[in-house]
Structure 1
Amino acid sequence: MRLYGYWKLIALSFCVKRDLTERNPMQLAPAPLFRDPIYDGAADPVIIWNHQERAWWLLYTNRRANVPCQGVAWVHGTDIGIASSADAGRTWTYRGILEGLTYGQGRNTYWAPEIFWHDGLYHAFVSYVPGIPRDWSAPRFILHYISADLWRWQFDRKLALSSEKVIDACVFPLPAGGWRMWYKDEAHDSHTFAADSLDLSEWTVRGEAIADCPHEGPNVFRWKDTYWMIVDTWSGQGVYRSDDLDHWTRQGTILAESGQRKDDGGNGLHADVFVNGDRAFIFYFTHPERTPGETFGFDDTHPYSAKRTSLQVAELDFRDGILCCNRDNAFDFTLLPPA
């Protein structure tokens, strides 16, 4: 009887453990996280919580990878695409494009959204290129919009910044009040410039912030009691750290080597870091079928396979004061809603 009771206890313990495991499995991130079902060219992702829908939204540049075009017209004429998840990031559904961003006449180009919630409103800073150019000569600007629900947008203004070739806005609150924007200025060697604002509408240019190499897509966040900036150097994400948002020190590079997950080949491009509780996730895009070592060309000599993209997510790590990321690590990906 004692032996029977012993084995019964072991069996019961095993069943309890198995039940807990089945009820609380690790939720691995989908790989790829998302592919645009219309043009297959999702790029420049940013994530935000939709308070009205109680769902996560991924906004992205909707490149037209599968549309035959002359020159680089396929990366122009783009809208801002939407994918949403109501199950903490497990699945993503294409929802269309952001409506109401129309600026100027005719068909124009919208890139690299920066979208966040503040004081009951959503703010969007979107890169804008007039028309659908076949080359890189067109001017570029940053536009500011406001929305109460993420669907209907009201235009505020075109920002006056350091040149007429500015894209890739990132906005972050300053500790003493007000806001700082970092952006790429292509007229100044594709360096990151900064501007400050008290109201998110009027901006005063401060000057260069990161000038050690050409790059794009600055993204600033606070994690582990430190301010961080990542920038897309086209050979991985350059990592910088700061104690005051004024002075930045280069730490290294992440996402430079190809990952092993599906569609995670090549370096990680134009990323957004989202701090969720005490964890930090990096959302980025890849050209998974581009030949390794191929120059970052866009023109019509490249086949569709080299143009198509996938959105991916990985978890950041912090070891011995260093921000790092192994994109092949398995991690639990469950996005927690804001408190």
Structure 2
Amino acid sequence: MTDRPDSFQFAASGRRVLAIEAEALGAVAARIGSEFEAACQAMLACRGRVVCTGMGKSGHVARKIAATLASTGTPAFFMHPGEAAHGDLGMVTDADVLLALSYSGESDEILLLLPALRRQGNPIIAMTGRAGSSLAREADIHLDVAVPVEACPLQLAPTSSTTAALALGDALAVALLEARGFTADDFARSHPAGALGRRLLLHIRDVMHTGEDVPRVGPQATVSEALIEMSRKRLGMTAVVDADGRLLGLYTDGDLRRSLNDPGIDLRTARIDAVMTRTPRTIGPDALATEAAKLMETHKIQGLLVVDGDGRLVGALNIHDLLRARVV
């Protein structure tokens, strides 16, 4: 082995790889045309799922393509061709489309599956680097991902070719996404645990305190009684409501500090309606939790009362509730 290259050689090698792979992507992009459109049409018309398969590095790429398709509105899954020949082929129904990846187009494990899939009537889309290969000839649609050269200087490790296949898979997924009119809300529904899912799916009703956990007092209550309610419910505030539960005002920890600095207020005897905020910021239960976060940030407040369309108090939440829900 030679001595370890210095840092300049590392950087130069990295730039060379990216330049070679960028050139490869340009070559593939120039060939996108009728076959790509036919592949998109076949996937769009699919009544089942897109079954992605490949061996080795092509298998890793096929698995990622399946995941991208599934998360962007095109039902898909990965099938290992070796396992398929020993029973997993039963996962494929006659409503499915096969997307088979093999740069050489001669992977025995994939070719072995084709007769059974042909008999079942599955459309076959091949993604190979050789238009004259066995897989390309057997397929209904062939996507050419041939690259001028691999980035590996030994021309052994799949590098440019796997990048090209991965990028073409992304191109298919995005083209289908656009054709379906797939939206951010649709994406969120398949990513409920992700940050986007939380932003688009979590509503105020999902995080707010309700029932007896909501601090509230009547307008005739004293400030000291309101403080007891605030301490009991631990939200740093209390709502002031009338006999029908309609919101009249809000009293917060900040209001308490201002009351303490006012020598004219006796906390033991002063009525809460004399010191409360009469037009507090509120939010509805059907609003997104992110709207509450935006309101709190914009108005520099730590909590919000939740009211229905008639102005009745139905819940309350503070910044800690949003933090626990990982909305902020």
Q: Please indicate the TM-score interval, normalised by the length of the shorter structure.
A: under 0.3
Q: Considering only CA atoms, is the larger Rg found in Structure 1 or Structure 2?
A: 2
Between structures 1 and 2, the one with greater helix share:
2
TM-score by length of 2: 0.19
Q: Which has the higher contact order (CA 8 A, sep 6+)?
A: 1
